[in-house]
Every structure is written in structure tokens, then in C-alpha cells.
Structure 1
């Protein structure tokens, strides 16, 4: 998801954001997480990513079973989290051998010790990538790395400017369709109402 610059094919509806456009399927991908080069898989079948277990188009190592999807291949090495003073570093291996791994933001278990996570070494503070970036409420995957919140939008469904926001009130419902607004929405601060992206 992105509300930044994108490449768009109007004939077939193909959309590509800038960070994904910088990775060519003809090039070899070198990633800090793996010692061998990775190539973009030519198969159109969805395959499992070694770093997160999601299924999709992947980069494959020709020497071993390692795979990476586009989301994991483009994760930043370091990132700041709004409610933490130190930067987080992307970690490729479990922080210890305890066998119990939790996210300190959502306090839920991190499912697999081989799944990547962000870690603040100063505070011994591990977290899911989705908890650092936010996740889509409607499909459970992805993140908001390429979304800029706070942008105003003029809509024909409402007389005031609407602001693109991530955090809505728990009881917020779309003023257009009446369904709950979860995770992201357009909000009117003047009227204290919200709209789904599609409804705005």
C-alpha cells in the first residue's frame, strides 16, 4: 500500500511503488540476511518466504532452500518507532535460545524463531515488523511503510477536508456505509466522523 509516487499501467491495472520498482526481476538480489545471491523466481505459483512464511512471488537462492518475498526483501535495516527512544535493527535470528519469543509491543508470541523481527539491543526489546509499521486490518498482511498519514483530502461525500489517519476510535463507524472503520480511515476533525478509504 502506498499513497506516494507509483508507476501505473492504465491498460492492465498494474501498480508498482518506487521501492519495488528498484528491484528488477532480471537482476540478482544481494541481501544482508543471506550469504548467497538471490534471483527472482520465474514461476507464477505462490511460494513461502523463509523470513515470514507468507506466500507470494519470491526471490530464491539457487544454492539452498532460502527464499524472500518482496516485503521482506525491502524491509529497512534500521527503523524508529514512535513510542520508543532508540532505533530498532532488523534481526534475522532469534535473540536467545529460550524457545519462547514474544513481541514487546503487542505482547503476543512471535510464532517462529526463524521469522525476522526488529530488536532494540539497548533495551532487549523485540517486536514484530507488523507492529513497527502497522498492518492492514482487512487482509492481515502488509504494512504502512509507504503511506504518509496526515494528508488532507477533499471529497465529494463531505463538505470539510478529510485527513488520512491510521488510528481511529474503537467505536468509529463509516459515515457513508455504517460499517466499523478499522485501522485506517479518512477522518473529519470538525464533525468528528470517519469514512473508509473506498467510501471517501
Structure 2
């Protein structure tokens, strides 16, 4: 069967569909996660992308940084620190071109705005971009607000969280998703107003943090 090649702005050569051999462990150059089929690549350069990573939009408006649009950069500054999870990144990332020093891993930029996993919490969790606070009992002083620690690691790290307001349940996204590594399929929120590609609804179905 003849496969039609594709070009991606991040690579100079044509890319073709590729099948994994048994026991192969190859990482995607965009998200740094292990490749699962379908994926495409340039074998001579050892450059490979998930099919879904291939279709990630080159820019997006993200609610965590409403002042400027974010642009997909295949060669971001190294090392950069992801504003979502606090980890370093060296692969594809979304960044602010307005010199805000704001960077997101590709996989963090497209996390769903809501998350449900009954084994962890009975209610749906909402993605929030800073730790929620509550007021110390017995005081009316707003300066005495206390950050709610992560339910999993019991720390107050500055990173994005999944949050249930009714229960004051907080989980760092990195803690939650690493705790359940078998979760490999997320529904992607549409942050882009320009859906020119019919495949956009399928972006990043199989990423793990």
C-alpha cells in the first residue's frame, strides 16, 4: 500500500506513516512520550510524531494566559520551566511571544478543563491555575488565607491543580496523573477559535504525564 507523505513545519523532510516493531520503545519528538500507533516520522533523521501531535495547532488562546496568544515552538529555549507542572521541558512547547517568560509543555497546554476519575474522587475536578485558599477559622483577616495542600503529596507547590470546590479537594495535575499511569486517554478542550483541521477533535488522545 502506498502512503502519502506529509510535511510538518518543524522538520525539513517529508514524514511518512510508520509501524512499530515488537518491543520498540521510541519517543515522540513533540511530547516526549512513548509512541503509540498511529504515528509518522522521518526514519533517516529519527524524527517521529504522534499523529495527534502532528495536528496540534500552531497557536492558541489559553485561559491561563489571557493577555496574549501562545505559539507552538518546536525548539523552545533550553531549559524552560513549564508554568503548569513546574517541570523542565526540552521538546515542543507553547510560549508567549510577548516576552512574558510563559511556557507550557505541549501536553500540559491541552489538558482538559475538567477531569473525572471515580477511583480518586466522586466529583468532577476542575483545572485551576493557582492554588485555592481558605480562611483560617476564628479570623476575619483576609491576609490569613491558607493554601489548600495537595491531597496526594500534602505540599503547597505553585502549579496547576485539579480542584473540587465543594470538598476543598486539591490534587496537583502532576501528582494525579502520575498516580494513575494507566490513564492514557483524555478529552481535549478546544482552546482554539480556528479549527481548520478535521482531525483537531482527536488531538492528543494518548498522552501521559
TM range (shorter): 0.5 to 0.7
Residue of structure 2 in register with 1:32 after alignment: 63
- What does residue 123 of structure 2 align with? 86
Deviations 1:24-67 (A, max 9, x none): 4xx22221211110112344633111222211142211222222
Residue in 1 that maps onto 2:149: 102
Contact 1:4-1:147 at 8 Å conserved across structures: no
- Aligned pair count? 137
- Provide the alpha-carbon RMSD of the alignment: 2.9
Which 5+ residue runs of structure 2 have no aligned equivalent? 1-32, 135-144, 187-209
SS across alignment from 2:133: coil
Greater than 4 Å deviation, 4+ residue runs: none
Structure 1 unaligned blocks of 5 or more: 137-142, 149-200
Which of the residues 108, 122, 125 maps onto 1:72? 108
Distance 1:65 1:43, change over 3 A: closer
CA contact (8 A) 2:131 2:147 kept: no
Counterpart mapping for 1:1-200 below 5 A: 1=33, 4-9=36-41, 10-24=43-57, 27-35=58-66, 36-41=68-73, 42-43=75-76, 45-56=78-89, 57=91, 58-63=93-98, 64-83=100-119, 84-96=121-133, 98-104=145-151, 106-112=152-158, 115-134=159-178, 145-146=183-184
The alpha-carbon deviation at position 7 of structure 1 amounts to: 1.1
Structure 2: distance between partners of 1:5 and 1:82: 28
Using the size of structure 2 for normalisation, the TM-score is 0.55
Distance 2:112 2:101 in 1: 23
